[in-house]
Structure formats: structure tokens, C-alpha cells
Amino acid sequence: MDPKKTFLIEIQPAGLQFEQVAGMSLLQSGLRAGVRLPNSCRNGTCRTCMCKLSTGEIEYQIEWPGLAREEKAEGWILPCVAEARSDLVLDVPGAVDLKAG
């Protein structure tokens, strides 16, 4: 990813937003911006962070994340090992705004 290029990440249904930081996973970028996505292993195997990509394009940081081919085809992603390649809308029911109250 071009280090100067940023993408807007929208988290639904919470309506949260943050910018993808070049070289960081979606999970890391979210945490840096104060948005906690469900997570555990942070290496693409436990599937705790699994969420649905509603719109946009991602690229994985590892060769084969812990998703079945069918899950990937249905739009499921693992944000702990994925980076945005465009603006994204993700469906993440367990997302929390760490800056709120």
C-alpha cells in the first residue's frame, strides 16, 4: 500500500469510522483510532474477529487466512490479517468505541 494513501473504514451497525493506517491490519488501525473490534489471536487462526465485508476491497497480509473458500466467497474476512485496498464498510456487531464514555 502506498504509505500516503489512506482509506476510510466504516463499522456497522455502530456507525464508527477510522482510517486504515498503511502497513497495519484493519484490527490494528481500528485500535489505534479507538475502535475495538472483537479479537483474540491476531494472526488469522482463531476467527474471533471474523466479520462481513459489505463493500470495498481488502488484501490479506498472510497467504491463507483461517477461512474456508466458501466463507471468503460469501464476503467474510479476518480483519486481524487484512488491509484495506479501498474504502470499506464492515458489518461488525461487537465493535466498541473506546473513546466513548
Domain harbouring 51, CATH code: 3.10.20.30
Residue 2 lies in a domain: no
Q: Is the pTM of this model over 0.75?
A: yes
User: Taken in order 18, 22, 26, 30, is the CA torsion positive or negative?
Assistant: negative
Mean pLDDT over all residues of the chain?
93
| Tens-digit pLDDT profile for residues 25-37 | 999 999 999 999 9
Residue 86 lies in a domain: yes
Which one, of 93, 99, 60, 57, lies nearest residue 79 by Cα? 60
Query: CB-based contacts of 76: which residues, under 8 Å, 6+ apart?
Result: 50, 51, 52, 53, 67
